[in-house]
Structure 1
Amino acid sequence: MILLVIGLILLGVFGIRFRKDRRRLSNGVYLLLGVIFTGVWLLGSGVHGDLPVVLAGLLVALSPLLVLVLAGLLIANGVQMVRREGLRIANLLSMGLGVALLIPYVLLAAALFTDNLWIVVLLASVTMVISYVGFVFVAFLFYSLFYGALPYRAGMDAIVVHGSGLLGSRVPPLLASRLDRAIQVYRAEVAAGRHPLIVTSGGKGSDESISEAAAMAGYLAERGIPADSVVLEDRSTTTRENLLYTRELLGQRGASTRMVLVTSNFHILRTAILARGLGLDAEVTGARTAFYYLPSAILREFAAILVANKWVNAIACVILFALPLLAVIASRDLSGSG
């Protein structure tokens, strides 16, 4: 019963925080913990005898196999990304994570062959850190999916489309999907009697012949969007600059800065968190992305989230890494004093 109480409390905290502001990663932590505690209670509430023990043993036995399968899939996706998108650091993230998941098994094999206590301690330390990062990643992914499934809040004054790079002067498929989603939102608003602006946001890269904003505006014009409904923000090079320059641009026009940000589905939560940090009255809606592209893209987003909160995560990892070592030292001191 205690598991149910804890789960309901965590879900209640999530509900309160979500109602106050849905654009927080910590919402995902409370939601995931609440679901885990409540789910464990539900699984065990109608079960008697040795079945819970059998299920727990089965889970422990299968976990290493599942991790190995996941590592293999991530490495395979990394190879596919390199073949399709080229050899770049960003495209190696899924492969790198797959290799990292194999490290505890390498350490375990070394510990078994050498019978060395300190290798076992190192294995425990690495496992603690990986478990922490893994939990935060699951919370991030779980809440990203939850946030992305939320219905669009109608009635925004501006629809901001974030750039993602051009192919010369051509709009590539990733950016086209964002623009198509913006057109859907725009037409729904017009059908409801409203007339929002569409802001195309993106500067000119060194390998691009025109700004992203201009290319995006051309794409919209070809699909029947009136020119007086489109505003170009053609200075930005990052998502943060997209948001800041757009707020400035709308303020200069005397328009309200209440906006919906249109980006790819893998990018929605980080964009929402960033918008919240800048104090913007903005929500985010996502466009579909090619499936093969998602693992690396999601990992890039997660890495950016970790970096944005680097000190909290670094302190947590250091503490967790040190715990097994401190436990060994403490046990030796106790046995020595006894």
Structure 2
Amino acid sequence: MSSRPLIRPDLKHPMQRILYWGIGAVLLSIIFWAGFTAGGILAYMNEGSHRPSDAAVVLGAAVQGENPSPVFRERIEQAVRLYKDGTVRHLIFTGGSRDSSTPTEAWVGRQYAVSHGVRPEHILIETKSVITRENLLYSLEIGKKEGYRTYTIVSDPLHMKRSMKMASELGMDAVPSPTETTAYRSWRSKIPFLVRETVMYMGYTLKGWN
């Protein structure tokens, strides 16, 4: 049985060689950029601040009926801890609903926080946002009306770098507070989240993705 020779691109023409190596250089640059971005996300994931703030902005996540998903619950509990230890005075829950038949993320977050000891008058919600940048933008609008000047952003550790970049570009005086525990405990669950965050961070850098 004879084996067929490997098919190699015909690089005899100078322009073909330039195109071939150009494509290779672009692919290598993208791989390098992705690796550098992923490394930055990992390096930032444990960055946190105990600076007092006027309000904690809790970035929205999925809900399950009237209950927060495990990911969202961790974010809410982190915000409740900040409230109870006096680091923040108020909580702003964010997130709308993609389905009119289900409660908004912000409402679910508020109900959970109240049931865990946060006074209702210390909670504000915005129910319009569906992406991270909107979470922050609409929270900032609420904060300005209330006279808030400083914020603590609460989210998952791997989501923190992109969230803080957005907050900075919106002009928020904000510090990070990643969740102390997370639903993404094993590397089997962390890696897909890291890949997604890497792509989203790169996309946001290029075009302002959410």
Taking structure 1 as the reference length, the TM-score comes to 0.52
The offset of 1:124, in angstroms, is: 4.6
Tell me the residue number matched to 2:205: 309
Give the structure, 1 or 2, with the largest relative contact order (CA under 8 Å, sep 6 or more).
Answer: 2
Looking at structure 2, the residues matched to 201 and 147 of structure 1 have their Cα atoms a distance apart, in angstroms, of 23
After TM superposition, the runs of 4+ consecutive aligned structure 1 residues lying more than 6 A away are none
The offset of 1:198, in angstroms, is: 0.8
Looking at structure 1, the residues matched to 93 and 106 of structure 2 have their Cα atoms a distance apart, in angstroms, of 5
Equivalent position to 2:97, from 194, 199, 204 = 204
Looking at structure 1, the residues matched to 11 and 83 of structure 2 have their Cα atoms a distance apart, in angstroms, of 61
Aligned length in residues: 196
Which stretches in structure 2 are left out of the alignment for 5+ residues?
Answer: none
Q: Does 1:132 align with 2:29?
A: yes
Tell me the residue number matched to 1:273: 165
The offset of 1:115, in angstroms, is: 4.7
Which stretches in structure 1 are left out of the alignment for 5+ residues?
Answer: 1-109, 312-338
SS at match of 1:282: strand
- 8 Å CA contact 2:58–2:154 kept in 1: the answer is yes
- Which residue identity does 1:263 align to in structure 2? S
Looking at structure 2, the residues matched to 286 and 212 of structure 1 have their Cα atoms a distance apart, in angstroms, of 19
- 8 Å CA contact 1:247–1:257 kept in 2: the answer is no
Looking at structure 2, the residues matched to 176 and 118 of structure 1 have their Cα atoms a distance apart, in angstroms, of 57
Looking at structure 1, the residues matched to 177 and 11 of structure 2 have their Cα atoms a distance apart, in angstroms, of 49
The offset of 1:125, in angstroms, is: 4.4
SS at match of 1:142: helix
Aligned residues: CA RMSD = 2.6
The offset of 1:201, in angstroms, is: 0.8
SS at match of 2:91: strand
* Offset from partner CA, 1:193-235 (integer Å, 9 cap, x none): x651011111122165211111111111121222222111222
Looking at structure 2, the residues matched to 231 and 299 of structure 1 have their Cα atoms a distance apart, in angstroms, of 32
Looking at structure 1, the residues matched to 177 and 126 of structure 2 have their Cα atoms a distance apart, in angstroms, of 19
- 8 Å CA contact 1:199–1:232 kept in 2: the answer is yes
Query: Which structure would you say has the larger Rg?
Result: 1
Equivalent position to 2:174, from 270, 282, 292 = 282
Tell me the residue number matched to 1:151: 48
Looking at structure 2, the residues matched to 296 and 124 of structure 1 have their Cα atoms a distance apart, in angstroms, of 31
SS at match of 1:175: helix
Q: Aligned pair in 2 of structure 1 residues 207, 174: CA closer, same or farther (>3 Å)?
A: farther
Q: Aligned pair in 2 of structure 1 residues 268, 129: CA closer, same or farther (>3 Å)?
A: same
Tell me the residue number matched to 2:66: 169
Q: Aligned pair in 2 of structure 1 residues 118, 167: CA closer, same or farther (>3 Å)?
A: farther
* Offset from partner CA, 1:248-279 (integer Å, 9 cap, x none): 1112122x231011111221111111111111
Looking at structure 1, the residues matched to 191 and 22 of structure 2 have their Cα atoms a distance apart, in angstroms, of 26
Tell me the residue number matched to 2:194: 298
Looking at structure 1, the residues matched to 150 and 101 of structure 2 have their Cα atoms a distance apart, in angstroms, of 31
Tell me the residue number matched to 1:260: 152
Aligned positions of 1:102-251 closer than 5 A: 113-118=6-11, 124-188=21-85, 190=86, 196-206=89-99, 208-251=101-144
* Offset from partner CA, 1:123-167 (integer Å, 9 cap, x none): 654543332122222222222222222231421111110111212
- Which residue identity does 1:268 align to in structure 2? M
- Aligned residues with identical type, % of pairs: 21
- 8 Å CA contact 2:93–2:106 kept in 1: the answer is yes
Q: Aligned pair in 2 of structure 1 residues 195, 300: CA closer, same or farther (>3 Å)?
A: closer
- Which residue identity does 1:172 align to in structure 2? S
Looking at structure 1, the residues matched to 9 and 45 of structure 2 have their Cα atoms a distance apart, in angstroms, of 47
- Which residue identity does 2:176 align to in structure 1? V
The offset of 1:289, in angstroms, is: 3.5
Looking at secondary structure, tell me which structure has more helix per residue: 1
Q: Aligned pair in 2 of structure 1 residues 208, 170: CA closer, same or farther (>3 Å)?
A: farther
- Which residue identity does 1:219 align to in structure 2? Y
